[in-house]
Amino acid sequence: MTSVSIVFHDDDIIVVDKAPDLLSVPGRGPEKLDSVYHRLTLQFEEVHIVHRLDMATSGIMVFARNKASLKNLQQQFQNRQTEKSYQAILAGELHPETGAINLPMRCDWPNRPRQMVCYEYGKKSLTRWRVMEYLDGSTRVELLPFTGRSHQLRIHCNAMNHPILGDNLYGTEESQKARQYLCLHAQSLTFTHPVSTERMTFGSPPPF
C-alpha cells in the first residue's frame, strides 16, 4: 500500500491528489478496504468523507478533519458553492468548441454501477465543455459539471458520441481499448475554507 499524495492539510481539511484506479472510500468486503479514506485514517486521527471521485478518475479531493468542517463543506457541495474543473480526452473531434449538455440521469439498476439517461425519472444533470486541443483522432477538453451526479461526465460525453478514452463502462469497444486507464482527471477544486472563510483553489495536472 502506497501513501496518498497530500496537496494541503491543516487542522480542519485535507486536500489530496487521488491516483487513478484507487477507491475514494472503502467498498464492501475486506478486499475493498484500501482507499484514499482508509490510507488517510492511518495518518490522521479523525477523517470525514466530503465527496467522492469514481475509482477510475484521478484528481483533487477534499476531506474534513472534524465534524464542523464536514458539515460546512458538505453544505458548500450541496448548494453548488464549489467550483470543479475536469480534464478529459474524448474519442473523435468534438464540435463546437464550447457548449453545454443537459440530460437527466438515474441509476441503471439491473446494470449497476452503470448510470443512464432517463427523461422520466432522471435527475437534472448539466455539464459545460470547452475544447482545449484537437489531437490525432481525439479531443482534449475541459469539463465543468454544474451538477454532481454519479458518472455524469462519462454519461454526458458518451451521449454526445464522444466517449472518454479508456472508459470501460461506456463508449465503444474502440474507445475503451484506446487507453489502459480512464482519461478523466479532476484538475481543480475551489471552495471556501470552513474556518478561515478564505476562498481556496487546489489543482493538479492530468496524468495523460
Asked if residue 124 lies in contact with residue 208, where contact means CB atoms within 8 angstroms, the answer is: no
Q: Which of 12, 54, 108, 136 is catalytic?
A: 54
Residue 28 CA: distances (Å) to CA of 2, 139, 181, 194: 21, 36, 23, 31
Beta partners for residue 120, in sequence order? none
Would residue 167 show up in a list of annotated catalytic residues for this protein? no
**Cell 496518498 -> residue:** 4
Grid coordinates belonging to 13:
481539511
Cis? peptide before 96, omega within 30° of 0? yes
List the beta bridge partners of residue 48.
64
Alpha carbon distances (Å) from 66 to 40, 43, 50, 138, 173 = 13, 15, 11, 43, 44
> With contact defined as beta carbons under 8 Å apart, do 61 and 186 qualify?
yes
Closest CA to 164 of 43, 54, 23: 54
Residues 6 or more apart whose Cβ sits within 8 Å of residue 5: 16, 17, 18, 19
State which amino acid sits at residue 176: Q
Active site residues: 54
